[in-house]
Amino acid sequence: MDLKDRSERIKAKARELGFLGCGMAKAEFLPQEATRLEQWLHAGKHGQMGYMANHFDLRTDPRQLVPGARSVISLAYNYHTPGRQVDPEAPKLSTYAYGRDYHKVLKQRMKPLMAYITEEFGQVAMRCFTDSAPVLEKAWAERAGIGWRGKHSLVIRKGQGSYFFLAEIILDLELAPDAPVIDHCGTCRRCIDACPTQAITPHSVDGGRCISYLTIELKEAIPTEMAGKLENWAFGCDICQQVCPWNRFSTPHHEPQFLPRPAVMGLSREEWHGMTEVVFDRLFEGSAVKRTKYAGLQRNLRFLREGR
């Protein structure tokens, strides 16, 4: 079996398992990404995400994560939903947090693909990841032809948009690499102009100013200079994706575990601001929102209330 046929069989299985996209790249050191990451860190654009400065060698070379790795399989998994929260005045959740935590779901979805690889090609050393280890997911998605890096720094697929999660399988099986795709952002700068905190510069984000960082990653008080700029986002932010012209092509996902939770979607503004810890634990069990913990969500809600 030649490398191309091997790769095509894996891609066909990935489509059968519900993945939006699947591409291959050679496992090797990422020189351009290493330089970009180093400059980003040196400029302090990671805010208080100190972990981003850790394991630099692992982030820039997948062979450090899987010794002998020869390929990286990049996967895209759709999470787009047209549903919206019932109360337009309610504090807002990023779309990706409407259902079950994606870390749990994508690991479940990758296991059958890994089992298939073993069945078809014998004993293969491999590990799977989804935003859970020092892996430069966007770089591998670009290299594997999943899409191009938009000006908001997210990966975009032509005709499908950017509402998808990325995941990877790093393995010691040689596969035919895919070619990167062309950047189709052109002169558009809607995401840059729409960002209320001016966090976006072409193809990069100042993490310390991003609403998603401020409402999820930041553990201290939200800077007072951001008062009135969060546009009612309590967990994450979708503004740069909402204004992206490519997302008019996004189609609803077919993942039952990503279905919006009716009890969450129906919360009124008053119910959000009056939420107890018992209610928080019940509503967000198994959800990515648990990452902020109750105290973090309350901090966000207080900031929104005081900044209105």
Among all residues, which ones are annotated catalytic? 131
Measure the CA–CA gap between 217 and 198, rounded to whole angstroms. Answer: 18
76's tokens:
């895209």
Do 127 and 120 meet the contact criterion of CB atoms below 8 Å apart?
A: no
Helix, strand, coil share (%) of the chain residues, nearest 5: 45, 15, 45
Burial category of 204 from C-beta neighbours within 10 Å (exposed 0-12, middle 13-18, buried 19 and up): middle
Burial (Cβ within 10 Å: 0-12, 13-18, ≥19) of residue 184: middle
CA distances from 162 to 89, 153, 217, 248 (A): 26, 10, 22, 10
Question: 252 with 274: CB under 8 angstroms?
Answer: no
Euclidean distance between CA atoms 186 and 243, whole angstroms: 15
How many other CB atoms sit within 10 Å of the CB of residue 155?
22
